[in-house]
Amino acid sequence: MAVTAPRRRIGRSTSAVAATALVLLVAGCSSSGSGATADASKSAQPSLNSTDINPQPLDQVKDGGELRLPLQQWIDQWNPIQVDGTYGDSVEIMKMVEPELFRVDATGTFQPVPDFLVSAKVVSTSPQVVQYTLNPKAKWSDGKSLSYLDFKAEWQAANGSNPAFNVSSTTGYDQISDVSQGADPTQVKITFSKPFADWQSLFYPLLPAAGVSTPDDFNKGWIGKIPITGGAFKLGTQDKAAQTITVVPDPNWWGAKPKLDKFTYRVLSTSAITQAFLNNELDEASAGRADAYGQLKGDADAVIRSASPWDEVHISLGSNGPLADLHVRQAIDKAVDRDALIKVLNQGVPVTFSKLGNHILMTNQAGYQDNSGEWGKFDLDAAKKLLTDAGWQDAGAGKPRTKDGQSLELHFIVAQGSSQATVDMATATQNMLLQAGIKLDVDRVPDNDIDDKYINVGKFDLATWRNTNSFPPSLVIPFYQEPVGDNVFSNYSKLSTPEIDSLLKQAAATLDPAAAAKLYNQADGDIWALAHTIELYQRPTVAAFRKGLANYGATGLADTDYTKVGWQK
């Protein structure tokens, strides 16, 4: 699951994002490289299909069996719209056990899921009113039918009106003015105070009113447990000592019976996943790194599947200490040679990495344009000038600059269990910044601490993670939204401006796609100038799967229907 870029509201993955061959960057930051070798490594690269999941009709899928999948860290907070609950794998599991009203297809289009929805449509545009008609068979595990009360409770928790709900995003919810029952108990009417184009991305998944109605239930009631379920599956076991979680079919499910008997998730470091697959302990492993691909492609029991999802690799900048100064952050942007870094990271990987010039839209997404401008260009002299203008004086080659007796020293946070590729990425950045007079320490921290003790609380100068499948574009807003008090949403850098905030929200309220794209791109240009994040590349999904695995794999833009996943007859 971790390597197929699962769609998530505002999730991220802290998995390895780089390839090896650091040595080419240690001596300098030239954009030149061994082109012939790189081309040869991609001469037989896997094709990037819209999806690559071995689709099989259900009569060709066995009944029963187990699918063994990796987890990158233990899951504590299960509430997917709580600020600590956005970890991608947990959000994906929540879509198995809670109502997923819509499922995204291979084109990135929302399709209603009949097990939960008879229909959902806009019935008025002034004001915008959406009417949902629920499947009358749909029930929560406590026996209650799904109703407008669940929509209302989730809206009230997530709309930002009560700061006691520590919500990860208010996007869309803060534009709803009313939730009420329609003509009968199966109908739900959602009225918006202003248009919201991406309304199908809300209530994703739907959560039970009984679990989110109070701040205490919302923030604490999902820690270590899922109190109420409403999907085809439920949690089986959680063994923290063994670091395993199982998900099993719910016998009370009213839809088509799931094919598999069990999904087993096991927490493993990125570096251990490859070997676990080769040892027949897992049925999926990322093959997107050169070292992993080299080992996995020769496994007789493996098949490589690939697709192009919404998946971006970046370096995030913090806002503490020297980084509170915009000029220092902009100097870092200028000191990082993205072309050289990407070229090295791409060596030995069987697909080409596409450099990103946009924080919001992927290269294959409608409306994409490169807004990086001067801030995405490597210019060491300009970086040095920015630092000098900020008062940081040159101390000589190989030495950190100084100001008021302090050295310009920053920290790049990586997880202890990160692959060598991720460490190489941080070390390459370290060497680049030193040429501008910035000392960068690479600090390895415990795997289970990197989110809660570092990234989520903004305790980093530089850090890297992947934001995955954040579409429609309004789902990106929390990454750059202005924090409100202690709530940073998913803007862990804590960097924003009222102008960026306003442009993003205007875009989300614009029903015309072309006009919305124009606003998103305007906001993106401002995000580049703010030096919030150094975008690197759009990451293709390349993964190894056990032969015979059906209806599962590299999903591209699509969601997985877990009831259909199984082993081919």
Domain ranges of the chain: 58-94+231-308+543-567, 99-220, 310-539
Q: Which CATH superfamily is domain 58-94+231-308+543-567 in?
A: Periplasmic binding protein-like II (3.40.190.10)
**The CATH number, out of the four listed (3.30.70.141, 3.90.76.10, 3.40.50.1950, 3.40.50.300), of the domain defined by the range 99-220:** 3.90.76.10
Q: What pLDDT, on a 0 to 100 scale, did the predictor assign at position 284?
A: 98
**The CATH number, out of the four listed (3.40.50.150, 3.30.1330.20, 3.40.50.11810, 3.10.105.10), of the domain defined by the range 310-539:** 3.10.105.10
Burial of 524 (0-12, 13-18, 19+ CB in 10 A): buried
Beta pairing class for 533-538 and 354-355? antiparallel
Per-residue pLDDT of the chain (569 residues; tens, 9 = 90+): 433 333 233 345 544 333 322 222 322 332 222 233 333 344 345 666 678 999 999 999 999 999 999 998 999 999 999 999 988 899 999 999 999 999 988 877 889 999 999 999 999 999 999 999 999 999 999 999 999 999 999 999 999 999 999 999 898 999 999 999 999 999 999 999 999 999 999 998 999 999 999 999 999 999 999 999 999 999 999 999 999 999 999 999 999 999 999 999 999 988 899 999 999 999 999 998 888 998 999 999 999 999 888 899 999 999 999 999 999 999 999 999 999 888 877 877 778 888 999 999 988 787 899 999 999 999 999 999 999 999 999 999 999 999 999 999 999 999 998 877 788 889 999 999 999 999 999 999 999 999 989 999 999 999 999 898 788 898 899 999 999 988 898 999 999 999 999 999 999 989 888 999 999 999 999 999 999 999 999 888 899 999 999 999 999 888 999 999 999 99
The b-or-e profile of 215-244 (16+ CB within 10 A means b, else e) is eebbbebbeeebebbbbbbbbeebeeeeeb
Find all residues with CB under 8 Å of 338, minimum gap 6, and list them: 355, 376, 378, 534, 535, 536
Q: What pLDDT, on a 0 to 100 scale, did the predictor assign at position 336?
A: 98
Q: Which two tokens stand for residue 24?
A: 């080419």
- Per residue, the 3-state secondary structure of 394-453, as one string, reads CCCCCCCCEECCEECEEEEEEECCCCHHHHHHHHHHHHHHHCCCCEEEEEEECHHHHHHH
Amino acid (1-letter code) at residue 335: A
- Per residue, the 3-state secondary structure of 453-484, as one string, reads HHHCCCCCCEEEEEEECCCCHHHHHHHHCCCE
For residue 73, which phi and psi values (nearest 5 degrees)?
A: -160, 160
Amino acid (1-letter code) at residue 291: D
Whether pTM exceeds 0.85: no
Q: Length of the chain, please?
A: 569
Q: What pLDDT, on a 0 to 100 scale, did the predictor assign at position 46?
A: 60
